[in-house]
Structure 1
Amino acid sequence: MFDWNDLRFFLAVAETGSTLGAGKILKVSQTTAARRITALERDLGLSLFERSPAGYALTPVGEALLERARAVDVAAADFAERAASQARDISGTVKLTTLDLYAETVLPPILNRLRADYPAIRIEIDTSQERRDLAAGVADIAIRNSKEPKGAGLIGRRIADDPWCVYCSRAYAEANGVPLDAGELANHVFIGGGGENFWPIYRDWLRENDLEDAVAMHHATATGILSAVRAGGGLAVMPSFFADRDPDLIRCLPPRRGDGSGLWLLTHERLRDVPRIRAVLDFLAKELKRLALQAA
């Protein structure tokens, strides 16, 4: 095989009749142009030019290959233009999977701004209770609460700390008071549930504090828990990134020691350079980090 770039030198020398002229076209020295022609002839095992004091003249073999080289040059230019067009084409569908809590609290205004900046992108939001497999292509991007996301080929950014804390509503606090330490929690009721992406972490927290029996109501979704807490039905353990920004909620206790949970923005490595995926990832990262800094 030969260096494809050397075809540019072959065409330039054929057009100008000299390595000096080719060097000017390609913005390299005459020496470089001559060296590339020699390398191409060596790699092909053919003599493409006859050298003389008057310059370079195509040999019969060179003449026979000239049109083929031009066709390769046209094809390469077309390939580059099509690739550039794909890079500019920020449109299509992006499937975003996340907890229903994030989808219905912090995300709506962010997605409104995304729509304004990228009107050709359509976002499909999946708040399924099942964790979607990005490697299988079920979703393109995930926003997750996790200590350290795991999965084949996952790449991501930790946006902010997102520890789990106990919350109540302002109305509940006025009627029942706010528990100020773990010892007071047994005097209050909890709203449990939230689905398989939510309840296991919540349940572990309750077990560690011997509070499983304090659950008075169980919701199938995390937004169901949120609605019940806002209505004054009891306390709940929830991710702090969204809950701290809810004006109806009061954080009762600080995070448990060693809670390294964070808000993560994830995709699969095969998607990171897809223009529409990259655009949405960068936009969400910027907006979520801005939101995190506002509360810092």
Structure 2
Amino acid sequence: MYDWNDLKAFLAVAETGSTLSAAQTLRVSQTTVARRIAALEAATGLNLFERRQAGYALTPVGEAMLARAADVRDAAERFGEAAGASSRDAGGTVSLTVMEIFAVTILPPILRDLRAAHPEIHLHLDTSDEPRDLASGAADIAIRSSKQPTGAGLVGRRIADNPWTVYCSRDYADRHGIPHTRDELAAHPFIGGGGYVWEPYQAWLRHHRLEDSVVIRYDTSTGLLAGVRSGMGLTILPAFLADREPNLVRCIPTMSDDRTGLWLLTHERLRHVPRVRLVLDFLAAELTKLGRE
């Protein structure tokens, strides 16, 4: 099998008429060009040039092979151009919408590794707790905690189960014990709020007659995390995150009918855009790996 560099030498000599001119074109030594021509002739079993005092002249066989060699060069150049275009497309900005509580806990090391592996990618994080409309272009990718994501044209996958349940800090548990029943929960203060999660959270508290146990309310889910870490009381948090917090303790099991999952989503028009696909695949691999730990 011939070497591609041997074929380049063949084309250069054929086009310039001498190994010296070909060497100047290829920026190698004349000896290297002559050696490559000899190697190509040996590999193919063909006599491609007549060695004359005035230079190298193609033999009839060499003439016949010249067009084919040029086709190989053209194909290689087209491949290089296509690869370059794909590489450029893989670069640029990708916008990611994710709840702030995930953005400040599990995501930073993942995004650090993504940046190290793909420095051509620039990320823009939207940490609003309100779900963004991917169909309208509000973001390229969403990491969303939901039972079943809704929205026009959404495609993606469920990364992990992510039910929400009650947690307290280890320090709090050491001082006050871990409540396991409704009556025990009623004897403890609750941290309420959490932005858009407050509506279902409040409904759960109301259902268990625990609404009066709320002693402070935060506007964001990150506030819930800060409050429970401080040992202020109990709160509801997503299990995918909270079970990985070394300072938190789960108080009660998740509800058997809680089908909440962690979803990685994009819009169907973006699923094959190289830079979006790259980020999707990286996040999917890392979040799935985290879910198995």
Structure 1 equivalent of residue 171 of structure 2: 171
Structure 1 equivalent of residue 238 of structure 2: 239
Identity score, percent: 56
Structure 2 equivalent of residue 137 of structure 1: 137
The one-letter code sitting in structure 1 at the alignment partner of 2:179 is: P
1:36-90: CA deviation from partner (whole Å, max 9, x where unpaired): xxxxxxxxxxxxxxxxxxxxxxxxxxxxxxxxxxxxxxxxx99987655443332
Structure 1 equivalent of residue 249 of structure 2: 250
Partner Cα distance (1:226, 1:121) in 2: 30
Q: Call closer, same or farther: CA 1:84–1:201 in 2, change over 3 Å.
A: farther
1:184-211: CA deviation from partner (whole Å, max 9, x where unpaired): 1111111011112x22232232223221
Q: Call closer, same or farther: CA 1:202–1:173 in 2, change over 3 Å.
A: same
Structure 2 equivalent of residue 122 of structure 1: 122
Structure 2 equivalent of residue 19 of structure 1: none
Q: Which runs of 5+ in 2 are unaligned?
A: 1-75
Contact 2:98–2:129, Cα closer than 8 Å, also in 1: no
Q: Which runs of 5+ in 1 are unaligned?
A: 1-76
1:74-131: CA deviation from partner (whole Å, max 9, x where unpaired): xxx9998765544333211111111111000000000000001110111111111322
Q: Which moved more, 1:234-243 or 1:87-96?
A: 87-96
Residue 129 of structure 1 aligns to a residue whose secondary structure is coil
Structure 2 equivalent of residue 217 of structure 1: 216
Contact 1:202–1:238, Cα closer than 8 Å, also in 2: no
Aligned residue pairs, count? 218
* Aligned-pair CA distance for 1:135: 0.6
Structure 2 equivalent of residue 184 of structure 1: 184
The one-letter code sitting in structure 1 at the alignment partner of 2:226 is: S
Partner Cα distance (1:123, 1:110) in 2: 12
Partner Cα distance (1:173, 1:261) in 2: 26
Structure 2 equivalent of residue 277 of structure 1: 276
Structure 2 equivalent of residue 34 of structure 1: none
TM-score (normalizing by structure 1):
0.70
TM-score (normalizing by structure 2):
0.71
The one-letter code sitting in structure 2 at the alignment partner of 1:233 is: M
1:67-82 correspondence runs (5 A): none
Residue 186 of structure 2 aligns to a residue whose secondary structure is helix
Contact 1:191–1:228, Cα closer than 8 Å, also in 2: yes
Residue 233 of structure 2 aligns to a residue whose secondary structure is coil
Partner Cα distance (1:248, 1:275) in 2: 39
RMSD: 1.9
Q: Which runs of 4+ in 1 moved over 4 A?
A: 77-84
Contact 1:180–1:252, Cα closer than 8 Å, also in 2: yes
Structure 1 equivalent of residue 36 of structure 2: none
* Aligned-pair CA distance for 1:256: 1.2
Residue 264 of structure 1 aligns to a residue whose secondary structure is strand
